[in-house]
Structure 1
């Protein structure tokens, strides 16, 4: 990794550490095999789930799209990041709070591959998703535990569940994803409940992870003691709606999480939650932190030319080509170069 790249990495991490006062410190930088960072976006979709993953090899994954009520939010969130193509669209299971926003995603972005469990639903929203997939001439890959999307020495993306095709509960068919990036790892648990969690334990797959996107919005039938003991996460993220009718997250689940000393982060309290890893450490930022620590100067990038402008520039790009940054370092980290006239 060249000196400029290392400098940019440290600046990005320092910026996030300052704004969030949260970091896991290590002494080394990953090898030069991966110059980019792993970025995990737990999007606040209310009572539902949507996790956007920007992989260090340049690929993009979206796990679920939240309910239909959040479809515009998810589309806009992805557009603001300048993303036009999604390499892996993972549909954990066919419940509306996970797939309601996906037809819009399929219509608005170029999707390379779609992954689902071997479970269907006789619902209007599931039929709408299948129709949107068919209109784009996309095939659906049925996945199971042990399947890999990426299997490289320092970057692995694979599935821990489902392990069977005969569960009684739809939630237990949930695709559970794991990413290992150098020394860092995370699990996104869908709505997997106890039966699926026990099967994951029995499978012998490595369940240890720094980050756990808690199953089923913190419901009491998920995130059981035996599963938590295997995962032992430093951070537990709960995607949940404010004052939801289900009482999520349940008191019993919160007690189990608190018992292992994990840091609990909830979208109903913090909004969008973004984690960044260089392979050795995690730093995170929340929507609340961004609002409280918002900097005065904003920058606008041109998604076509990759040129960065100040907000006062007379040569700003048209609205649909704009992407917004809070710092020059953030923009340069995504490949943007300063405009020679407005940024000295």
Structure 2
């Protein structure tokens, strides 16, 4: 508890599982310390250790297991203001709790029912709704709130799905998949190799079977492409680039690859090499554009017109994922002609890029499309039932 004001400076949230996890791990600390010192002494004397390494190793593995499980709890943290103001506020709250602890214990003994009711109301006020709430079935597409990055989950069969991009951080995407009860992935599509789309891959692979990974054909940046290849190899997961025009079917779900049609050496080459997908699940249609910029958007529009635009009175898509987090560098005509009633913007709060750009938001308002942002709404679930498009958000 006393270290929380320091930790909040680093991460902008408060762990609610840290204290229980430390209590569970505490019995294993002494065996690790004592056995580890003994082992180090034997090694320093030149004596054989061998299997004796298990003496500190076994309790260390137990601590690791507890930490791993605690980190994977989807409701394990509460958002808190970061920076000096957040640290000072949390310091004040901590001191208040320490000062009032005796009085609270006395009240709990004298009025247990009133105290329990107050505790439950306090928990209800601070716990995120995502702790108990899940998108009601049958959700067909969810934009996960993973901060400044993309991670979208497409439904296939119960307990399974397709992940399009993995966000910037493993824990965030893992928590979203757990909230959705996705235990296996029929496919992971990494639209391109920028950090905000691939650095969370390890979290998506955690405790899940993955049938395959499809990526952008342009392995840029090469270091992150190499990391993706290494993770796929470690998991024995087939890895290959997307092929233009291919259709991938998983039950009632069909993915169609519309781009990239060619390499574009203008703007951001990795962004313009994003895999562009259409998703169809029954009557539900979505267009996922990765981070394509104006040059790739124009190329896509000219080469895939029949697949992108419906009749003037009948929009082709129910949902469009805004290109590049709502950047100002996009193809106006492509965005206007898709005419989707809902536009998803996967974006982090107070990001340094100015996403989504005012120019993009003004264009969306003029077109009458409803913009849903993960920084404001949390996880965003969408589905079509009875010809109607439904939306549920965490916030």
- What TM-score comes out, normalization by structure 1 length? 0.67
Give the paired residue count: 249
Change (3 A) 1:57 1:156: farther
Does residue 52 (structure 1) correspond to residue 149 (structure 2)? The answer is: no
Q: What is the rounded CA distance, in whole Å, between the counterparts of 1:122 and 1:225 in structure 2?
A: 27
**TM-fit CA distance, 1:123:** 5.3
Pick closer, same or farther for the CA change 1:54–1:178 going to 2, 3 Å. same
Higher helix proportion: 2
Alignment partner, residue 67 of structure 1: 168
- What pairs with 1:306-325 in structure 2 (closer than 5 Å)? none
Higher relative contact order (CA 8 A, sep 6+): 1
Equivalent of residue 188 in structure 1, options 268, 276, 288: 288
Determine helix, strand or coil for the equivalent of 2:177: helix
Give yes or no for the alignment of 1:209 onto 2:317.
yes
Check whether the contact 1:176–1:189 (CA below 8 A) recurs between aligned residues.
yes
* 3-state SS of 1:206 partner: helix
Q: Quote the Cα distance in structure 2 between the aligned partners of 1:119 and 1:228.
A: 24
Which residue of 154, 161, 165 maps to 2:259? 161
What TM-score results when the alignment is normalised by the length of structure 2? 0.59
CA distance in 2, matches of 1:212, 1:56: 22
CA drift at 1:268: 1.0
Q: Structure 1 unaligned segments of length 5 or more: list them.
A: 1-35, 289-344
- Cα distance in 1 for residues equivalent to 2:209 and 2:219: 24
In our comparison, the structure showing a higher alpha carbon Rg is 2
Structure 1 residue 105 corresponds to structure 2 residue 213: no
**What secondary structure does 2:149 align onto?**
coil
Q: In the TM superposition, what are the counterparts of 1:1-344 in structure 2 within 5 Å?
A: 37-55=138-156, 59-68=160-169, 71-122=170-221, 124-150=223-249, 155-168=253-266, 169-203=269-303, 204-207=305-308, 208-222=316-330, 224-278=331-385, 280-288=387-395
Distance 2:227 2:181 in 1: 26
Give structure 2 stretches of 5+ with no counterpart: 1-136, 309-315
1:106-155 Cα offsets, whole Å, 9 max, x none, are: 24321101101211134544432221101112222211331111299x75
Q: How far did 1:39 drift?
A: 1.7
Structure-2 change in CA distance of 1:151 and 1:97 (3 Å) = closer
What is the alpha-carbon root mean square deviation over aligned residues? 2.1
Task: From the two aligned structures, give the one with the greater strand fraction.
Answer: 1
